[in-house]
Homo-oligomer: A and B are copies of this chain.
Amino acid sequence: MNLKVGFIGMGIMGVPMSLNILKGGYQLRVCNRSADKCAPLIREGAGKADTPKELAEWADVVILMLTGPEAVQETLDGEHGLLAGMASGKTLINMSTVSPAFAKELNQQLSRRSLFFIDAPVSGSKKPAEDGALVILAGGLPEKIDEFEPLLLKMGKKVVRCGQAGQGSAMKMTVNLLLGIMMEGLCESVNFGERCGLSAETIMDTILSGAMNCPLFALKQDMMKTGNFPPQFPLKHITKDLRFILNVADETGAAVPAGHAVFQLYRQGMGKGLSDSDFAAVKTILEKISD
């Protein structure tokens, strides 16, 4: 508990996740490119670092929760970057969504400097982040995952051991492929039913009474009924993830026919002003391309 934790990335996910670390009794300092976004954490008693380097010098372990591989790499590199301040033997935990290949490469970069790396993206969005109920998909040395499991369990309800570094990110892709397909499938079915004269309300009621009932669909019930899509998981994020996924599938040779079909619809949403809507807004696209 005397562990000094650095956390970089004060976004929609990073704020509640780091807050849960603080509440869990850890020493915490945070850092963000736009420094004002650190306010909610500082208000609760967290410290602040001006640069990733400064954070790395202080912390025993640094957690990243950023928008993607470019942001991760930028945070590492440069005069004020993480790598400039991180002494050998310390650990970096990347929880941002990146491709398995990038996670493997990151692991190699860090190994060469005698740093430890845990590839630990999460399954779950805003609500589970707030509740400390994320599922953490961890890849890396088993003893390091063991060592930091208590810390990870402040943010999540479960740590899934996926294998070596890169496998956590592979699991994240696997889960988000299903996520992208299921959400499109829900929207396609509701739209299909509506065109047969059924109401979205009755359809959702039926689905939530049967074998396909899941928290995801329950969460989107109102969106299906009202046609409003306040962002829980923005459409631009699933689009970016599916782009990664199709590339990984191309490399591994995995057939992803539904992945291709739904990617095209979300991508279309990007061009129709739905980037920042919840990804359930793909229903709007399905309505547009129906009669």
- Residues of A whose CB lies within 8 Å of any CB of B are 100, 123-125, 128, 135, 137, 157-158, 160-163, 167, 170-171, 173-175, 177-179, 181-182, 184-186, 188-193, 195-198, 202-203, 205-207, 209-216, 219, 243, 245, 248-250, 252-262, 264-265, 267-268, 270-272, 286, 288-291
A-B interface, 7 closest residue pairs, ranked by CB to CB distance from nearest: A253-B291, A271-B291, A174-B193, A181-B185, A170-B196, A214-B214, A178-B189
A256–B171 Cα distance when bound, in Å, is 28
Q: Can you pick out 7 interface pairs between chain A and chain B where the beta carbons lie within 8 Å of each other? A: A135-B206, A135-B209, A181-B184, A192-B245, A255-B264, A255-B286, A257-B261
Is A171 a contact partner of B289 (Cβ separation < 8 A)? Answer: no
Closest residue of chain B to A194 (Cβ to Cβ) is B254
Q: Which residues of B contact A202 (CB under 8 A)?
A: 160-162, 171
Q: Which residues of B contact A212 (CB under 8 A)?
A: 175, 178-179, 182, 214-216
Q: How far, in Å, is A89 (CB) from chain B's closest CB?
A: 28
Is B171 a contact partner of A181 (Cβ separation < 8 A)? Answer: no
Is B188 a contact partner of A257 (Cβ separation < 8 A)? Answer: yes
Determine the main DSSP class of A at the interface with B: helix
Known pairs A170-B198, A186-B178, A192-B174; A210 contacts B124 (CB<8 A): yes
Q: Which residues of B contact A214 (CB under 8 A)?
A: 211-214
Q: Which residues of B contact A290 (CB under 8 A)?
A: 253-255, 268, 271
Q: With A123-B206, A177-B189, A288-B288 given, can you name 8 additional A-B contacts, CB distance below 8 Å? A: A171-B203, A173-B196, A174-B189, A195-B252, A195-B254, A254-B290, A257-B261, A268-B290
Is B219 a contact partner of A211 (Cβ separation < 8 A)? Answer: yes
A189–B245 Cα distance when bound, in Å, is 10
Q: Which residues of B contact A207 (CB under 8 A)?
A: 175, 178
Known pairs A207-B178, A215-B213, A257-B261; A252 contacts B291 (CB<8 A): yes
A192–B267 Cα distance when bound, in Å, is 15
Q: How far, in Å, is A119 (CB) from chain B's closest CB?
A: 12
A254–B271 Cα distance when bound, in Å, is 10
Is A193 a contact partner of B171 (Cβ separation < 8 A)? Answer: yes
A162–B137 Cα distance when bound, in Å, is 41
Q: How far, in Å, is A231 (CB) from chain B's closest CB?
A: 16
> Which residue of B137, B259, B271 is within 8 Å of A206 (Cβ)?
B137
Q: How far, in Å, is A136 (CB) from chain B's closest CB?
A: 10
Q: Which residues of B contact A258 (CB under 8 A)?
A: 181, 184-185, 188, 258, 261-262
Q: Which residues of B contact A209 (CB under 8 A)?
A: 123, 135, 157-158, 160
Q: How far, in Å, is A189 (CB) from chain B's closest CB?
A: 4
